[in-house]
Structure 1
Amino acid sequence: MSSVYQINKGINKAIEFRGLKAQYIGYLAAGLVGLLLMYAVLYISGVNTWICLILIGGAGTGLITTIFRLSHKYGQYGLQKKNAKRSLPDYLKFRSRKLFIHLKYTSPSPLGRDLGRGYDKY
């Protein structure tokens, strides 16, 4: 029995493997390597094999479902956007309007007129 996995090899498109998109493939691989190391540490430390298997199996199931849920919910860049939005401040506090009064737009418009004229007179 051979199975064929389709991998998206398009230019400038995110790779996709069995529904996982972009960076989530790496997250899943790193998580599985971590579970393998955790199993080795538990086994070497003398924990019963069945307890090791139950712990690692449960953690692996949780890892896989979480990664797939994040991939489907946020897509290729959504999780990064969510993390970036968390670092934005809730509000900005200004003590004076001096900064905005002296602002002037200096880039020329496509029509050749300076759009900044008139903004600094207030």
Structure 2
Amino acid sequence: MKKDTTYIINKGINRSIEFRGLKAQYIYILAIGMVILLIGFVVCYIAGVPVYLCLPIVLLLGLGLFVGVYRLSNRYGVHGLMKELAYRQVPSAIIYLSRKVFWKDLKQTKW
């Protein structure tokens, strides 16, 4: 007797990566922030800052990092933060006080 084999189809093709509610680039932002906090703790510890003073500071900064990254992930979604940052670089208006730019191009073209 042959047993029927079923295969699970991967329906996540072309979808962005998600881990515990964090979407796409926010996972990397959180990971880089955690590494920076770890390096900061090591530097403070080697510099001689007491652990009971350094540890609460790093824990509070880590909590702020988690809350901030999750808030960005929920607010902007997968590509929204990149779109928001790109939109901020677009000027609201282009102002020329002189017409020399346009006349220069007209003189170069041969009718």
TM-score bucket (shorter structure): 0.7 to 0.9
**Cα distance in 2 between the residues matched to 1:44 and 1:50:** 14
Post-superposition Cα deviations, 1:39-75, rounded to whole Å, max 9, x if no partner, equal: 0000000000011111100100000000000000000
Q: Which structure has more RCO (C-alpha within 8 Å, separation ≥ 6)?
A: 2
1:57 alignment partner AA: L
| Offset, 1:11 | 1.2
**Cα distance in 2 between the residues matched to 1:44 and 1:93:** 54
TM-score (norm 2): 0.76
Quick check: 1:57 aligned with 2:88? no
- In structure 1, the residue corresponding to 2:12 is in which secondary structure? coil
Quick check: 1:23 aligned with 2:25? yes
| Offset, 1:92 | 2.5
Unaligned runs of 5+ in 2: 1-9, 103-111
**Cα distance in 1 between the residues matched to 2:78 and 2:91:** 24
Question: CA contact under 8 A between 1:39 and 1:56: conserved in structure 2?
Answer: yes
1:34 alignment partner AA: I
Unaligned runs of 5+ in 1: 1-7, 99-122
| Offset, 1:20 | 0.1
**Cα distance in 2 between the residues matched to 1:9 and 1:20:** 19
TM-score (norm 1): 0.69
Quick check: 1:35 aligned with 2:16? no
CA RMSD across the alignment: 2.1
| Offset, 1:90 | 1.1
| Offset, 1:22 | 0.2
Question: CA contact under 8 A between 1:14 and 1:21: conserved in structure 2?
Answer: yes
